């Protein structure tokens, strides 16, 4: 049984201070995690890193209290990007790593995500085990004396992670870069890495105060970065999110260069034969890759599913339009700073620019409509809906695609139609919506 009540696809996430992210619950999670880890290694160790949210210290202390109460040694890494915690978990040979972050969410939210000893996300089975253990804590014998875990602060975490990033960095001499660090976990390390590679860097949103992470900045708010680059003082811009596991670019004219562009560039530079992305990536990417002899595989939305497919097929390159890019032959997890470095490396290797890349990959028009329904799971199985989808696919016949998917959080079905003719795809999307709305009338 891998049933999990609190762990989602990206760990536990909620408003900090509200259930389940209360100090007491997090301490109990730490104790339960400690029991599960100690069953595998009696002297288990865990590293903990965090982003810049106000609540990070509180949750970190609670988690460490729970872990050490069950005999697990804890090492605090301080503020560090999520992929940096993954890297340090491996480098320090810890049994697990924990990131306290809510990624691109506002500062009021926070989250707890576990990595296994390899730096990859903890398995569903182990997360389920931890949750189950939480209800059995009262029956445990106390851990006392020398058996109790210790807490240490590791001051070399950023230096070690920076050393890894520098080893992957190309020569960026002569490149003028505007950088948005989202007042998040990359606020120190990202500018330093790009400067060390020779770039002239102007970094903004590098003054976290615990409450300004992702606030009108970062990879989900590109307006200010676009203005900076459009001033003419910079060749390009790059933005990270709060925990720096993703990045997006802006070309010299202020156009967004997203994950689809980055995947196309990386596939060409690396000579990949297959690339994995999600159903949200534009069909233009699929067409361009096919013209280069590269196969495209699609998964459900979420870098977790991209990662699973890549592992199953032994592939090296994958990612999402949102800027989560995976280079599994370099790192086991998405890394925004690494992705930015490798994108610019590919750009220089191929002698191109982000402007040229943006202009070459012309996105197909896309219509996305939301339909409120009673049973979002049943809609895709309805014979009338299936027939309407098949008819739309026949009409597009290789010139576009149709996707229906239930919302993860609301009673909605999302209808997406993509193709070369904007008017045609809008009509098809409206027809599918009318069919769905007619079900049960």
Contact residues for 224 (Cβ-Cβ < 8 A; gap 6+): 180, 204, 216, 217
Query: What distance separates the 2 farthest-apart alpha carbons in the chain?
Result: 73
Handedness of CA 320, 321, 324, 328 (dihedral sign): positive
The C-alpha atoms of residue 270 and residue 345 are separated, in whole angstroms, by 10
241 is in an annotated binding site: yes
* Rounded CA Rg of the chain: 23
Helix (H, G, I), strand (E, B) or coil at 297: strand
Exactly one of 69, 103, 219, 322 is catalytic; name it: 103
**Chain position carrying tokens 């943006």:** 358
The C-alpha atoms of residue 6 and residue 14 are separated, in whole angstroms, by 10
103 is an active site residue: yes
Written as six digits, the tokens of 403 are 């996707």
Written as six digits, the tokens of 292 are 């280069």
The C-alpha atoms of residue 266 and residue 259 are separated, in whole angstroms, by 10
243 is in an annotated binding site: yes
Would you name the residues annotated as active-site residues? 103
Annotation: binding site: 103, 241, 243, 245
Annotation: binding site for Mg(2+): 103, 241, 243, 245
């Amino acid at each position: 049984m891998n049933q999990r009540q609190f762990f989602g696809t990206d760990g536990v996430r909620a408003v900090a201070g509200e259930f389940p992210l209360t100090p007491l619950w997090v301490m109990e999670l730490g104790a339960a995690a400690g029991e599960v880890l100690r069953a595998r290694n009696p002297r288990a160790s865990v590293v903990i890193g965090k982003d810049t949210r106000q609540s990070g210290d509180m949750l970190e202390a609670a988690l460490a209290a729970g872990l050490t109460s069950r005999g697990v040694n804890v090492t605090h890494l301080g503020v560090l990007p999520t992929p940096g915690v993954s890297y340090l978990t491996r480098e320090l040979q810890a049994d697990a790593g924990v990131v306290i972050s809510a990624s691109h969410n506002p500062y009021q939210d926070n989250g707890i995500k576990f990595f296994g000893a390899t730096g990859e996300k903890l398995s569903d089975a182990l997360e389920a085990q931890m949750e189950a253990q939480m209800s059995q804590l009262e029956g445990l014998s106390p851990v006392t004396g020398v058996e109790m875990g210790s807490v240490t602060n590791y001051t070399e975490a950023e230096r070690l992670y920076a050393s890894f990033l520098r080893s992957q960095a190309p020569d960026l001499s002569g490149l003028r870069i505007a950088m948005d660090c989202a007042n998040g976990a990359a606020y120190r390390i990202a500018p330093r890495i790009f400067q060390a590679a020779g770039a002239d860097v102007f970094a903004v949103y590098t003054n976290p105060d615990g409450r300004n992470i992702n606030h009108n900045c970062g990879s989900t708010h590109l307006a200010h970065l676009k203005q900076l680059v459009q001033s003419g003082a910079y060749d390009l811009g790059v933005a990270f999110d709060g925990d720096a596991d993703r990045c997006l670019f802006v070309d010299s004219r202020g156009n967004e260069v997203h994950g689809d562009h980055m995947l196309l560039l990386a596939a060409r530079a690396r000579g990949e034969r297959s690339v994995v992305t999600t159903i949200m990536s534009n069909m233009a990417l699929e067409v361009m890759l096919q013209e280069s002899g590269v196969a495209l595989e699609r998964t459900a939305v979420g870098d977790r599913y991209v990662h699973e497919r890549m592992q199953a097929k032994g592939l090296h390159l994958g990612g999402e339009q949102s800027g989560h890019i995976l280079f599994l032959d370099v790192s086991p997890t998405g890394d925004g700073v690494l992705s930015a470095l490798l994108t610019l490396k590919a750009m220089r290797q191929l002698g191109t620019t982000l402007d040229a890349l943006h202009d070459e990959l012309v996105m197909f028009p896309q219509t996305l409509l939301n339909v409120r329904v009673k049973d979002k799971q049943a809609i895709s199985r309805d014979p009338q809906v299936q027939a309407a989808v098949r008819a739309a696919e026949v009409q597009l016949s290789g010139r576009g695609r149709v996707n229906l998917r239930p919302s993860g959080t609301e009673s909605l079905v999302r209808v997406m139609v993509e193709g070369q003719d904007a008017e045609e795809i809008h009509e098809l999307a409206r027809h599918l919506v009318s069919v769905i709305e007619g079900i049960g009338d």
